[in-house]
Structure 1
Amino acid sequence: MPTLSRQEAAAEMVDGAIGAWLAGKHACAITLAGAAEGGMPKIEDYRPAFEVAVATVMKFGRCNRKEAIAVVNTGRDWLKHYGADKPDQISTEFTWAYVLRAYLHFMTVYPDAHQTENMGALRSKIDEGLEPVRALGKALTKSLRRFGETVRGMQLGPITTLAEGAEASGANACGGKHAQLDDKGEHKNQ
């Protein structure tokens, strides 16, 4: 009799979630990603992975923590539980967050698992997504050098801050106002 292990089942669901996301089938992607996470062994301390997901949404969505947590959980909960208090529609903009969470959970629990073609495609998208982060790091380094030169007395003109660049980049992708930072660099609640 043919059998299916937990790892094989998780691999199929994560692979299917990635494939559905790449094909624009958001409900399938979110559902499969959630099912894959629920069917895998629990990570003893999953809080860091959740915090990474929240921080990622806060950064790329330019929203506060409460909004980011809602983004991380809303789509999954909306698909699983009908209620009069739930909206008729949800944004599909953050489907990738559910898929990425399931993929990272899979790779944490099964680090030696075979990478499917879809997993490789997601890995490529992650690598592509890192390129703007690398460019931002280079820009930050350049800005810090200019700041250092200015402090040493070499006036090179105005330095554009990252905050100014973020303000110029558009609206908050989480649906709220731009996240504001307090004096300690923490997000202020809005």
Structure 2
Amino acid sequence: MDRTILKNQLETYRTPYEEEAAFVKDFAELTLDPLAYKRERLAGHFTASSWIVNKNRTHTLLTLHRKLGRWLQLGGHADGNENLIEVALKEAGEESGLKNLMLVEERIFDLDKHIIPERPHVPEHFHYDVRFLIEADIDEPLQMSDESISLAWFSFDAVADMIGYNPSILRMLEKTSKSEILL
């Protein structure tokens, strides 16, 4: 998936979730910026994430993010790579130690535009997070990276209790439950 494919997918992306629909146009416009895939774009830049589920679609893998102190899906910065599927898979592998990650489909699973707080030498900015649905074997050993405080599989029933209120995680959870019907 390169910049042109992403732009085309974004132009046709439809979602019934109002909060997600509100920023789809922002993502499409960002694809036109030559710095969109680099951290140097201080107003905001693309990131890619993996919503990792087991094959039976009963659990999801989340990380307790070291810098943000919240349970989140695995992902990270594009760092110049315009193939966000590659970025999502690379970050998921690095952050979990999983070797057998399987992309469910090459289309966007979810989008989220969220603010990242200011840190030393980095101003407050937006992450334009493009998310993909990934399957993994729940029995494959995990290896936590330095970016995490913890890493664990959670049953879908336990996710809301673990994460507190995070509308984008709850949205992906709901999308996963709806996608079960289509399988």
TM tier relative to shorter chain = under 0.3
Q: How does the TM-score come out when normalised to structure 2?
A: 0.27
Higher helix share: 1
Radius of gyration: which is bigger?
Answer: 1
Higher strand share: 2
Q: How does the TM-score come out when normalised to structure 1?
A: 0.27
